[in-house]
Structure 1
Amino acid sequence: MSTETENETARARRPRGLVAAVVVFVVCAAAAGGLGASWALAANDDSVAFAVERNQVMEDGRQAILNFNTLDHKNVQRGFDQWVASSTGPLREEVERGREQNAQQIQQAKTTTEAEVVDAAVTELDRRAGKAKMIAVVKVVQKPEGQQPSEKRSRYEAELTREGEQWKLSGLGPVAVG
């Protein structure tokens, strides 16, 4: 091969390399632009904020339902403190009104209950009104002092109300089976 042929071959390769570099640059710039646009849309998308709020309802609601199904007769006041802290509105008022009488009954029964929220789902969420509903399946183990523990599963429907940054129970009742 002559030097002239080698020079022509080298010149022919240079533009291909330059073209390839430009193509890679354009593809990367387009990908970055697309990802940036997606990020901007997601950051301003109301559905993201709704999902975050729904997750907060779920977390706060599960904990509140757990609190309302867990009591230790040896430290019943602590349990009622958790009930008060987990509730709002008429439910909180009901807990506070019946606190002393219920505490005496629980202490006399010498029973401890431990709960586990087995499953739960948010069924309604109105962010503007600060209201939500959820359902939950709760496993409660009752441990009467000196007796064998027993296990019971219950289904609950809970109403929640946003109080500040936290969702609290404003209603809690059993769901009829059957």
Structure 2
Amino acid sequence: MARTTTRNPLLTAAAVLALLAAGGAGWGGWSWYAAAHDESAAYAATRDEVLAAGEQAVQNMNTLDHRDLRRGLETWRGSATGDLLAQLTAGRTEFERQIEQAKTVTRAKVLSGAVTELDTRAGRASVMVALRVTVTPPKGAPTEKESRMLGELTRTPEGWKLSALGQAPVGSAATG
């Protein structure tokens, strides 16, 4: 006499669910590993780092208080490298004299910014930063001006620093 076996449907369903769960966990782990080691994720993180450094440096370079001039100029030096640092160092004495005579306070606030170029291998980047700069004279009301600045950054051992800074052109250069 042959013995018949019946399968338990609950046991079969549990085995299928366990197999699906193991497959899902494996796929999730592989996806997480791939995302963590993806070059585009590292590039995006560097871009975010460059933008934060660029915005802060441009803000620093547009903020100065004549009452605490030495600290302000040291902040400028800490934000700069290369040719820009050389220019700041060479013209410091004359610039200090001008600011002490003018007795102004400038405060910059970043409105927005963007990385316009990033070469991670060469350690160079470019940013455009929109600012609102408030200038307070010794007498009279403060004035506000919005401007766009173009900055070039260089990667240094201390992080990304400005190596050039200039005003962005406004309006159309083409005439018809």
Query: TM-score scaled by structure 1?
Result: 0.90
Q: Write the letter of the residue equivalent to 2:148.
A: R
Q: Distance in 1 between matches of 2:127 and 2:154?
A: 11
Shift of 1:165: 4.4
Aligned to 1:74: 67
The runs of 4+ residues in structure 1 deviating greater than 3 Å are: none
Aligned to 1:7: none
Pairs within 5 Å for 1:23-172: 23-172=16-165
Pairs within 5 Å for 1:13-28: 15-28=8-21
The Cα offsets for residues 99-124 of structure 1, whole Å up to 9 and x where unpaired, read as: 11111111111100000010000011
Q: Which runs of 5+ in 1 are unaligned?
A: 1-10
- Measured on the aligned residues, the alpha-carbon RMSD in Å equals 1.3
Aligned residues: 167
The Cα offsets for residues 11-70 of structure 1, whole Å up to 9 and x where unpaired, read as: 97x711111211211111111111111112112211111111111101111110010000
User: Could you say what secondary structure the match of 1:129 adopts?
Assistant: coil
Q: Distance in 2 between matches of 1:47 and 1:165?
A: 23
How much identity, in percent, do the aligned residues show?
Answer: 46
Change in Cα spacing, 1:134 to 1:111, as seen in structure 2 (3 Å) is same
Shift of 1:137: 0.3
Bigger helix fraction = 1
Q: Distance in 2 between matches of 1:70 and 1:90?
A: 20
Rg larger in structure: 1
